[in-house]
A and B are shown apart, each in its own frame.
Chain A
């Protein structure tokens, strides 16, 4: 598996893929991070050569991907026919990959604007129809691959003035896909921007198109798989979440402990200083879109903090850094500590350091951490990090924008807890409020995001799509709760989701109960139970049924229901259990949390 973390050319990618397929022999591997993904790739040209790259990109992320490819050119038929092999495959994700010849069918250079516009609309409608068919049949996320503009110019630089130009037409289509995909909740595989970045020749070989109808060259297939893998990971909430930065020679030039504040190279005045400023600006932009920033530096803490507090050219301020670690311990241990303090998995950290020794140490000790080979020229740091796609994101929620601040507040709370031994007094001093709402369209994105990425505090680890959540909203025998926690340090955002579904015996079965670990130990659980019981009683339930399905990551909630006063009805060998609570005698717990609807 370690092999999968290095860049591979396509021959080695195929070899690795073959070896893994053979070793698994149709079985599913153990200890997967997520439910296996069944991805159907639908298109009109040869796609088989892209599959090893996708499987290996999954492997690199500990995600098992099983693939399906439609019979040559039959994607529309298979989508519409409920007895097709595609339907039998039951995909959990669909990737629509239409080639340039397919989407430009019927186009010719003599066409006038009106005919070209009509052709564009027809293709847009066909694509939208495919998305809707896939959605309706499989209730799963859909990815659409932007089409490669492989046709040579007819007019030249002002190609867009020739309405019937195939190259211009593909570009118009790709441009229009952005808004279409957003409106339909479809994710884009932006092959067009990638090809603009790498050059079309890196992606498309006309000779191979004529030979085997491979629009994407096999030489580009590992990168194709990588791009698909990033989207899958992002959909499953498995993108990286935090950037851990070294200080000396990474955020500024020089060594602050030796050169002093005045000796640092940073900001206007030298190209090198401006390059460090530009990298800091990139990091700050990342944090503004929801990536957590942390510092891990071998320094005396006072020295390390000084530039953040006093250097006029520093773009990053202390408040931008959610977790600041400067000491003389080894970096692997410190990074473990950072993950613990921030309450996120080690596999969601990316570590940037100009020093190859530190990079190698962290790679060896903590192989799950993303360690880009950034070199030692700060002018390249941002581009290298962006190019590696660690932080692939699909939507920006308000919580993402506020997250860095939340983690920062969290650390202040931890600090107060360390200094206060009287826990009830501490909890009371937090002035907490739990604000609840039923599921609604405004919170939908965040709800789905939490359902798909919460691993630790998650009783059943059921993953749901937007459609599934909408189904709960429309069912009068179910309820869905989204809970937000406020306290005197700030708004923690939506931190817990509960779904209840009434069964035939009029018991309310808690289908999903998950919570962000950031708010552990703050009486949120009993307060939530009060809300759950009330919601169940409103729907006429006599009892609550709480189930626990063990996974590799959710051992912390094994005794969740017993702690809340449920009676264990049954337990299986793996520790899974079914627990009951009679609502007749239920007395709401008293906590330090204020409850409001809002």
Chain B
């Protein structure tokens, strides 16, 4: 799986978490650009992604997530590693 495949899934998760059907994701998007994206929303996103892909993030990986691009890259790499 490559990063590009992850984006549609992430988009759906973000739309659910922020309850905004029109939400679009880009690699540069960060919590500063999105109203309501606080540390709790961050955890919601993480858990939703973990459940969706049946993966578990490393505490270190979570500390290094700075934008949506980081998230997509980490997810793709973890799925790759699992196969």
Contact = CB atoms under 8 A, between A and B. Distances in A.
Contacts of A207: 57, 59, 62
A566 interface: no
A396 interface: no
How many interface residues does chain B have, given as a range?
A: 10 to 19
Nearest to B57: A207
B78 to A, nearest CB: 15
Contacts of A211: 39, 43, 59, 62
Interface string A6-30: 0001111011001100000000000
A10 B17 CA distance: 10
Interface string A209-236: 0111010011100000000000000000
Nearest to B39: A212
Interface in A568-589: none
Given A207-B62, A210-B59, A212-B39, A218 B44 contact: yes
A18 B17 CA distance: 11
A103 to B, nearest CB: 24
B31 to A, nearest CB: 14
Query: Which of A9, A12, A207 has the most C-beta atoms of chain B within 10 angstroms of its own C-beta?
Result: A207
Query: Which of A10, A11, A15, A212 has the most C-beta atoms of chain B within 10 angstroms of its own C-beta?
Result: A11
B16 A11 contact: yes
Contacts of A210: 59
Interface string B29-55: 000000000011001100110010000
Chain A contact residues, majority secondary structure? helix
Nearest to B59: A207
A14 B43 contact: no
Given A12-B16, A18-B19, A19-B19, A212 B44 contact: no
A249 interface: no
Contacts of A155: none
A212 B59 contact: no
Contact of A15 (B19, B40, B43): B19
A41 to B, nearest CB: 16
Contacts of B47: 10, 217-219
A214 B19 contact: no
Contacts of A214: 43
A207 to B, nearest CB: 5
A372 B24 CA distance: 39
Interface in A14-72: 14-15, 18-19, 48-49
A208 interface: yes
B70 to A, nearest CB: 16
A48 B39 CA distance: 12
Contacts of B57: 207
B43 A212 contact: yes
A212 B40 contact: yes
Contacts of A19: 19
B59 A11 contact: no
A48 B43 contact: no
A11 to B, nearest CB: 5
Query: Which of A12, A14, A48 has the most C-beta atoms of chain B within 10 angstroms of its own C-beta?
Result: A14
Contacts of A14: 17, 44
Contacts of B44: 10-11, 14, 218
B43 A218 contact: yes
A204 B33 CA distance: 31
Contacts of A217: 47
Contacts of B16: 11-12, 15
A12 B47 CA distance: 13
Nearest to A49: B40
A10 B40 CA distance: 12
A208 B48 CA distance: 14
Contacts of A9: 48, 51
A152 to B, nearest CB: 16
B47 to A, nearest CB: 5
A169 to B, nearest CB: 26
Interface string A99-126: 0000000000000000000000000000
Nearest to B63: A211
A540 B19 CA distance: 64
A214 B47 CA distance: 13
A24 to B, nearest CB: 16
A48 B41 CA distance: 12
Interface string B1-31: 0000000000001001101000000000000
Interface string A187-220: 0000000000000000000011011101001110
A5 B44 CA distance: 22
A49 B40 CA distance: 8
A18 to B, nearest CB: 6
24 contacts: A10-B44, A11-B13, A11-B16, A11-B44, A11-B48, A12-B16, A14-B17, A15-B16, A18-B19, A48-B40, A49-B40, A49-B43, A207-B62, A210-B59, A211-B39, A211-B59, A212-B39, A212-B40, A212-B43, A217-B47, A218-B40, A218-B43, A218-B44, A219-B51
Given A14-B44, A218-B44, 12 more contacts: A10-B44, A10-B47, A11-B48, A12-B16, A14-B17, A207-B57, A207-B59, A207-B62, A210-B59, A211-B59, A218-B47, A219-B51
Interface of A: 9-12, 14-15, 18-19, 48-49, 207-208, 210-212, 214, 217-219
Closest 3 CB pairs of A and B: A207-B59, A11-B16, A219-B47
